[in-house]
């Protein structure tokens, strides 16, 4: 790959914007289903339906439609200053930037979710009456390491589990802690999309082609005079 492609402002900031927007979108799509399934008790199919409805709502609100048009325009703008013989490299770099953003979305936002859970879960579970401190710590660790699926297990056990009558209150506390951590990570995903917007604003607009002045069109020189006497 010719790194001199990034000397173009449009190419540099266009690919940066594509990467950041993809990172924010796929980070959101990674975290939100965990909340829908483990806290709101939806099935995987139900979570998929919710995401589909959200996508439809975003389209009707203009966000999805606008994002589709913007993505196409961003591709054209980023490649506008790339020479024809390098257009293949330029297109491949932009596709790679989007794919890297998708992979980083799950890695970065998922990596942010784990420390957030390590902070919020103990705060909520430790205050549940009837749950020993050691059991509260084990619940918080199990919930964080399982990305929330331990909540569903504890909910299914109910009062017949090891926590007895304190189980419903513990489940509620874990739900609150997971929801708080999810809220923070979704704000972070939105922040990456905002950075993508700022990067898009750095993409230069279309340049106006210089106009060429046609000389000699206003007045005719001697060579333009048509003889009328047949000479």
Tell me the per-residue pLDDT of 122-176, one tens digit each, with 9 for 90 and over.
999 998 998 999 999 999 999 999 999 999 999 999 888 888 899 999 999 999 9
- Tokens 């009837």 sit on residue: 130
Cα–Cα distance measured from residue 54 to residue 93, given in angstroms and rounded to the nearest whole number: 30
- Tokens 């790959």 sit on residue: 1
C-alpha distance from residue 16 to each of 65, 158, 163 (Å): 21, 49, 50
C-alpha distance from residue 117 to each of 47, 72, 147, 183, 222 (Å): 21, 37, 9, 11, 88
- The pTM (predicted TM-score) of the whole model is 0.77
pLDDT (0 to 100) of residue 55: 77
Reduced to 3 states (helix: H, G, I; strand: E, B; else coil), residue 217 is coil
User: Environment class of residue 53 by beta-carbon count within 10 Å: exposed (0-12), middle (13-18) or buried (19+)?
Assistant: exposed
CB atoms within 10 A of CB 130: 12
| Per-residue pLDDT band at 71 (split at 50, 70, 90) | low
pLDDT tens, 13-51?
Answer: 888 988 998 899 899 999 999 999 999 999 989 999 998
Report domain extents, the chain.
3-201
Residues 6+ apart with CB under 8 A from 205: none
Give me the torsion for CA of 88, 93, 98, 101, rounded to 10°: 170
């Amino acid at each position: 790959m010719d790194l001199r492609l990034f000397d173009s402002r449009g190419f540099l900031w266009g690919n940066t914007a594509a990467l950041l927007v993809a990172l924010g979108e796929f980070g959101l799509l990674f975290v939100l289903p965990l909340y829908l399934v483990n806290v709101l008790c939806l099935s995987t199919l139900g979570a998929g339906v919710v995401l589909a409805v959200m996508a439809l709502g975003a389209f009707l609100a203009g966000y999805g439609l606008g994002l589709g048009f913007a993505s196409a325009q961003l591709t054209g703008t980023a490649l506008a200053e790339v020479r024809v013989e390098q257009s293949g490299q330029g297109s491949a770099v932009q596709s790679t930037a989007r794919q890297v953003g998708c992979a980083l979305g799950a890695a970065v936002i998922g990596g942010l979710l784990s420390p957030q859970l390590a902070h919020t879960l103990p705060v909520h579970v430790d205050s549940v009456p009837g749950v020993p401190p050691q059991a509260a710590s084990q619940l918080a660790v199990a919930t964080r390491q399982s990305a929330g699926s331990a909540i569903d297990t504890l909910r299914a056990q109910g009062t017949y589990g090891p926590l007895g009558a304190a189980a419903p209150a513990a489940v509620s506390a874990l739900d609150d802690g997971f929801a708080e951590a999810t809220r923070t990570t979704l704000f972070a995903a939105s922040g990456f999309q905002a950075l993508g917007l700022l990067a898009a604003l750095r993409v230069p607009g279309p340049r106006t082609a210089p106009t060429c002045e046609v000389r000699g069109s206003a007045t005719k020189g001697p060579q333009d005079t048509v003889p009328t006497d047949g000479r």
